[in-house]
């Protein structure tokens, strides 16, 4: 499905009141219902819940307005479609005007369009915490710290730009060393037998990531023990670990 179709979700799904839109390159590290429960935190006006983008609009010279202090990510949309349909401005016309006006400056398609529109109408956005928007570049190029990841771990891992499974694209770049845990998480879920308990998945993934951690230390030298971004592998597994522990109680 074309990514820009997410701009028209309320009309593509006319009989639905609310939906969660996710790009297909996501892996949950905690139960999905933890995300849907956030609908209840919307105020009377908010129509869409979004997470902050990883630093893209801060890092590069971007010639468009963007939402908030660092821009929003369009990879996850917690969407109240009824409110979206009833926004006090003509959404379809707004998208058309923005596209025409910024056509030579729009790079990230639908995400840029969302940012431009909601930079003018921020009151209709609910801010999700940054642990719901987690990709490698946060740490490599922008020095962006996420306080909620530091406290509770990753809620979602986003394999943007084929990070999960196309290692050959990055094999000559330093980023490849930090792609390893991303790809191992994806492969672990892909191989997981749905009838097996999640504890088996956690056990396998923990063993694999600790092995990769040792390999990274050897590659980078003992004086540098930087692991996955600034957070360490344990942050990747913290939410999954919490869920497994809660099942034992």
Residue 80 vs residue 57, higher pLDDT: 80
Length of the chain measured in residues: 249
CB 21 within 8 A of CB 132: no
Residue 80 lies in a domain: yes
Say whether pLDDT at 4 is over 90: no
> Averaged over 218-235, what is the pLDDT?
58
Give the CA distances from residue 1 to residues 4, 87, 181, in Å, rounded to whole numbers and listed in that order: 9, 25, 28
Tell me: do 104 and 8 sit in the same domain.
Answer: yes
pLDDT at 56 (0 to 100): 76
Query: In Å, how far from its chain's centre is CA 131?
Result: 8
Residue 115 lies in a domain: yes
Residue 169 lies in a domain: yes
| Least confident piece of the model among 46-55, 57-66, 169-178, 217-226 | 169-178
Residue 171 vs residue 113, higher pLDDT: 113
Q: Each residue of 49-67: pLDDT tens digit?
A: 999 987 778 776 778 999 9
pLDDT at 136 (0 to 100): 54
The angle at the Cα of 11, spanning 49 to 33, to the nearest 5 degrees, equals: 35
Tell me: do 54 and 7 sit in the same domain.
Answer: yes
Tell me: do 126 and 38 sit in the same domain.
Answer: yes
Tell me: do 12 and 113 sit in the same domain.
Answer: yes
> Averaged over 7-25, what is the pLDDT?
94
Domain limits at 73? 3-130
pLDDT at 69 (0 to 100): 87
Residue 63 lies in a domain: yes
Tell me: do 46 and 94 sit in the same domain.
Answer: yes
Residue 244: pLDDT band with limits 50, 70, 90: very high
* H/E stretch holding 21: strand 18-22
Residue 10 lies in a domain: yes
Residue 139 lies in a domain: no
Tell me: do 93 and 8 sit in the same domain.
Answer: yes
CA dist 115 and 113 (Å) reads 5
Tell me: do 188 and 113 sit in the same domain.
Answer: no
φ, ψ (nearest 5 deg) of residue 157:
-120, 125
> Averaged over 215-231, what is the pLDDT?
56
φ, ψ (nearest 5 deg) of residue 140:
-80, -35
pLDDT at 226 (0 to 100): 47
Of 130, 151, 173, the residue at which a domain comes to its end is 130
CB 157 within 8 A of CB 182: yes
CA dist 83 and 16 (Å) reads 11
Say whether pLDDT at 194 is over 50: yes
**48, 49, 55, 57 alpha-carbon torsion, rounded to 10°:** 10
Domain count for the chain, please give it: 2
Reduced to 3 states (helix: H, G, I; strand: E, B; else coil), residue 158 is strand
Q: What is the CATH number of the domain that holds 94?
A: 3.90.550.10
Of 81, 109, 130, the residue at which a domain comes to its end is 130
Say whether pLDDT at 132 is over 70: yes
Residue 147 lies in a domain: no
Residue 190 vs residue 17, higher pLDDT: 17
CA dist 68 and 65 (Å) reads 9
Residue 57 vs residue 2, higher pLDDT: 57
Tell me: do 124 and 78 sit in the same domain.
Answer: yes
Residue 143 lies in a domain: no
pLDDT at 144 (0 to 100): 61
pLDDT at 227 (0 to 100): 47
Q: Residue 193 half-sphere exposure, CB side, CA atoms within 13 Å? A: 4
Tell me: do 176 and 85 sit in the same domain.
Answer: no
CA end-to-end distance (rounded Å), the chain: 41
Provide the mean pLDDT of the chain: 83
Tell me: do 170 and 126 sit in the same domain.
Answer: no
């Amino acid at each position: 499905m074309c990514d820009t179709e997410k701009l028209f979700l309320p009309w593509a799904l006319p009989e639905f009141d609310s939906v969660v839109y996710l790009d297909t390159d996501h892996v949950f590290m905690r139960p999905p219902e933890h995300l849907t429960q956030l609908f209840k935190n919307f105020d009377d006006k908010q129509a869409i819940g979004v997470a902050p983008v990883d630093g893209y609009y801060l890092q590069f010279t971007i010639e468009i307005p963007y939402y908030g202090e660092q821009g929003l990510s369009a990879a996850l949309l917690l969407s109240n479609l009824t409110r979206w349909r009833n926004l006090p401005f003509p959404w379809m016309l707004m998208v058309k005007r923005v596209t025409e006006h910024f056509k030579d400056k729009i790079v990230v398609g639908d995400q840029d369009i969302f940012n431009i529109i909601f930079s003018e109408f921020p009151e209709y956005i609910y801010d999700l915490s940054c642990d719901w928007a987690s990709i490698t570049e946060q740490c490599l190029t922008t020095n962006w710290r996420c306080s909620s990841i530091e406290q509770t771990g990753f809620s979602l891992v986003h394999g943007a730009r084929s990070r999960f499974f196309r290692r050959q694209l990055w094999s000559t770049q330093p980023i490849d060393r930090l792609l390893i845990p991303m790809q191992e998480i994806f492969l672990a879920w892909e191989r997981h037998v749905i009838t097996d308990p999640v504890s088996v998945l956690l056990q396998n993934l923990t063993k694999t990531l600790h092995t990769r951690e040792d390999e990274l230390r050897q590659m980078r030298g003992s004086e540098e023990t930087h692991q996955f971004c600034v957070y360490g592998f344990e942050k990747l597994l913290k939410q999954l670990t919490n869920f497994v522990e809660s099942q034992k109680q």
